[in-house]
Amino acid sequence: METPEILVETLALERIEVNLFRGVSPEDGPGRIFGGQVIAQSLLAAYETVEDRICHSLHCYFIRPGDPRIPILFEVDRSRDGGTFTTRRVIAVQNGKQIFNLAASFQVAEEGFEHQAPMPDVPGPETYAAEADAQKAKMLENASEEMRRMMNRPRPIEMLGRDNYGFGRKPKPGEPKSDTWMRAVAPIGDEARMHQVILAYASDMNLLSTAMRPHGVAWQTPGLQSASLDHAMWFHKPSNFNDWHLYTQDSPSASGGRGFVRGAIYDAKGELVASVAQEGLMRLKK
233-284 pLDDT per residue, tens: 999 999 999 999 999 999 999 999 999 999 999 999 999 999 999 999 999 8
Helix axes 125-140, 145-152, angle to 10 degrees: 160
Which are the catalytic amino acids? 204, 228, 278
At 65, is the pLDDT very low, low, confident or very high (cuts 50, 70, 90)?
Answer: very high
What pLDDT is attached to residue 27? 74
Q: Is residue 23 pLDDT above 90, yes or no? A: yes
What pLDDT is attached to residue 220? 78
Q: Is residue 207 pLDDT above 60, yes or no? A: yes
> Looking at domain 7-109+124-284, what is its CATH homologous superfamily?
Acyl-CoA thioesterase, double hotdog domain (2.40.160.210)
For the ranges 48-57, 91-100, 147-156, the lowest mean pLDDT is seen at 147-156
